Structure 1
Amino acid sequence: MTQPLPLYQVDAFATRAFEGNQACIMPLDAFLPDDVMLAIAAENNVAETAYIVRTGEESWNLRWFTPAVEVPLCGHATLAAAHVLFTHEGFAGETIAFDTVKSGRLTVRKLEDGRLEMDFPSGPITEIPVSDDVAEALGARPVQAWGGMFYAAMFETPEAVRALKPNLKALASLGVPGEGWDRGNFGCFAPGGESVDVTSRFFAPGSGIDEDPATGSWHTMLARVMSERFGKQVLSCFQAYPGRGGRIDTHLQGDRVKLSGHSVTTVEGRFFLPM
Structure 2
Amino acid sequence: MTKLPFYQVDAFASKPFEGNQACIMPLDDFLPDETLQAIAAENNVSETAYIVPAGEGVWKLRWFTPAVEVPLCGHATLASAHVLFNELGFDGEAIAFDTVKSGRLTVRRLKDGRLEMDLPAYRIFEVPVTDEIASALGARPVKAWGGAYYAAMFETPDQIIALDVDHAALKDLGEDSADWPRGNFGCFARGGEGVDVTSRVFGPGSGIDEDPATGSWHAMLAPIMQAVTGQDAVSCYQAYPGRGAHMETRLEGDRVKVIGQSVTVIEGQFTL
TM-score normalized by structure 1?
0.98
> Equivalents in 1 of 2:97, 2:178: separation in Å?
27
- Give the equivalent residue in structure 1 for 2:101: 102
> 2:239 matched to 1:256?
no
What are the equivalent positions in structure 2 for 1:146-185 lying under 5 Å apart? Answer: 146-176=145-175, 181-185=180-184
- Give the equivalent residue in structure 1 for 2:52: 53
CA drift at 1:260 = 0.6
Contact 2:71 2:179 in 1 (8 A): no
**RMSD after superposition:** 0.9
> Equivalents in 2 of 1:240, 1:63: separation in Å?
26
CA drift at 1:248 = 1.2
> Equivalents in 2 of 1:64, 1:180: separation in Å?
14
CA drift at 1:123 = 2.0
> 2:85 matched to 1:86?
yes
- Deviations along 1:5-42, one digit per CA (max 9) or x if unpaired, are 00000000000000000000000000000000000000
Count of residue correspondences: 272
Cα distance change of structure 1 residues 193 and 125 upon mapping to structure 2, 3 Å threshold: same
Query: Could you say what secondary structure the match of 1:108 adopts?
Result: strand
Query: Could you say what secondary structure the match of 1:92 adopts?
Result: coil
- Give the equivalent residue in structure 2 for 1:112: 111
Q: Which amino acid aligns with 1:134?
A: I
**Runs of 5+ in structure 1 lacking a partner?**
none
- Give the equivalent residue in structure 2 for 1:15: 14
Contact 1:29 1:54 in 2 (8 A): yes
> Equivalents in 2 of 1:233, 1:270: separation in Å?
42
- Give the equivalent residue in structure 1 for 2:28: 29
Q: Which amino acid aligns with 2:88?
A: E
Q: Which amino acid aligns with 1:269?
A: G
- Give the equivalent residue in structure 1 for 2:76: 77
TM-score normalized by structure 2?
0.99
- Deviations along 1:146-191, one digit per CA (max 9) or x if unpaired, are 0011100000000000000100000001011667524100000000
> Equivalents in 2 of 1:143, 1:268: separation in Å?
44
> Equivalents in 2 of 1:181, 1:251: separation in Å?
23
Q: Which amino acid aligns with 2:93?
A: E
Contact 2:147 2:177 in 1 (8 A): no
> Equivalents in 1 of 2:145, 2:178: separation in Å?
15
What are the equivalent positions in structure 2 for 1:134-153 lying under 5 Å apart? Answer: 134-153=133-152
> Equivalents in 1 of 2:130, 2:181: separation in Å?
16
**Runs of 5+ in structure 2 lacking a partner?**
none
Identity of aligned residues (%): 69
- Deviations along 1:231-256, one digit per CA (max 9) or x if unpaired, are 11001100001110100100000100
Contact 2:6 2:26 in 1 (8 A): yes
> Equivalents in 2 of 1:206, 1:36: separation in Å?
21
> Equivalents in 2 of 1:267, 1:121: separation in Å?
30
Query: Could you say what secondary structure the match of 1:5 adopts?
Result: strand
Contact 1:151 1:182 in 2 (8 A): no
Q: Which amino acid aligns with 1:48?
A: E
Moved over 3 A (4+): 177-180
- Give the equivalent residue in structure 2 for 1:42: 41
CA drift at 1:57 = 1.3
Q: Which amino acid aligns with 1:19?
A: E
Query: Could you say what secondary structure the match of 2:91 adopts?
Result: coil
CA drift at 1:230 = 1.1
